[in-house]
Amino acid sequence: MDLQKRIDRGLERAITFATAGGQPAKIGAAMRHAVFPGGARVRPRLCLAVALASGDRHPEAADAAAAAIELLHCASLVHDDLPCFDDADIRRGKPSVHAAYGEPIAVLTGDALIVLAFETLARECSAAPDRTAPLIATIARAVGMPNGITAGQAWESEPEIDLRHYHRSKTGALFTGATAAGAIAAGADPQNWYALGEALGAAYQVADDLRDSAADIDEIGKPCGQDAAHQRPNAVAELGLTGAISLLQETVQNAADAIPECKGSSMLRDLILAEAKRLVPKKLAQSAA
């Protein structure tokens, strides 16, 4: 089964469980809206790719980890789009959850998706019960305080931002969590996989900055120019367009170099290079060609 199918099946199982009985209806519809149809599913694909490269000895644990990671990513997007943060009405080319269902349901949808992520891990790992606690601790670390994505988002409320900590928490942590969780699910040592997650997180941050600065809403399905509007740090603002593109190429190469020697390393290298291509806004890619 290809990665995309495994991810969609895992997410469908989780959302079906959370909306069993059909009531209360609005939040159930909002949870589905937040998760389907997805974006590129970068983080769960990375998790599964690492699990496969590590032998994938417990596919149901890897599927649960991938689903949990994507549910947490979706939850963070729902809350990021709230009026008190980005106040974004568009996400993945359709109305954001708060635009479609109102602010109370958007807050609760994020909360319910976070809970569902951990519930999914607890429920789906029964064939590999010794993985449950390490997976939950690893994934929680990637999203919670003091080094996960909530910490990253919270840095924006500080009088002075520690840029390295900010980027590592806001973007890098869930990539690192995805690689580590893929390894743990497969029974491999996560230590060998942190460097890849960190390098990919750094690459993704630069790519996201490029997309925010140089793409348009039709291409990326969400408002552009948000970093400038919210006075957030952005690699293009700091280094210029050419500098940011060089930095992206360099970080992608670092990521490819960080793949540990294993059976699936060439598959992973291909995945990363394909991702990197996809992440550069089309106009930039055309002008660079």
- Residues 37 to 76: which contact its own copies by CB under 8 A? 75
Is residue 141 part of the contact set for its own copies (CB under 8 A)? yes
Do residues 89 and 99 make contact, with C-beta atoms less than 8 angstroms apart? yes
Instruction: Enumerate residues 6+ apart whose C-beta is below 8 A from 125.
Output: 58, 60, 61, 64, 131, 132, 135
Query: Of 252-281, which residues contact its own copies (CB under 8 A)?
Result: none
Query: In the chain, which residue ranges form alpha helices assigned H by DSSP?
Result: 3-18, 25-35, 42-53, 59-80, 97-101, 103-124, 129-143, 149-155, 163-167, 173-185, 194-214, 217-220, 226-229, 235-257, 265-279, 282-288
Confirm or reject binding of residue 129 to its own copies (CB under 8 A): yes
Minimum Å gap between C-beta 261 and its own copies is: 30
115: contact with its own copies by CB under 8 A: yes
Q: Is residue 130 at the binding interface for its own copies, with CB under 8 A as the rule?
A: yes
Burial class (CB in 10 A: 0-12, 13-18, 19+), 119: middle
Binding-residue total with its own copies (CB under 8 A): 60
Listed residue (180, 198, 67) closest to 131, CA to CA: 180
Least distance to its own copies from the beta carbon of 84, Å?
4
10 Å Cβ neighbour count for 35?
A: 25
CB of 187 to its own copies, least distance (A): 16
Considering only residues 40, 57, 94, 133, which one is a binding residue for its own copies as defined by CB under 8 A?
133
Kindly indicate which of the ranges 43-51, 80-88, 244-252, 277-285 contains the residues binding its own copies, using the contact rule CB under 8 A: 80-88
Helix (H) or strand (E) holding 22: none
Pick the binder of its own copies from 5, 23, 231, 288 (CB under 8 A). Answer: 23
- Contact status: 16 vs its own copies (CB under 8 A): no
Report the distance separating Cα 32 and Cα 113, nearest Å.
Answer: 10
Q: Which residues bind its own copies (CB under 8 A)?
A: 18-21, 23-28, 31, 75, 79, 82, 84-85, 101-105, 107-108, 110-112, 114-116, 118-119, 121-123, 125-126, 129-130, 132-134, 136-137, 140-141, 143-146, 148, 150-151, 153-158, 162, 165
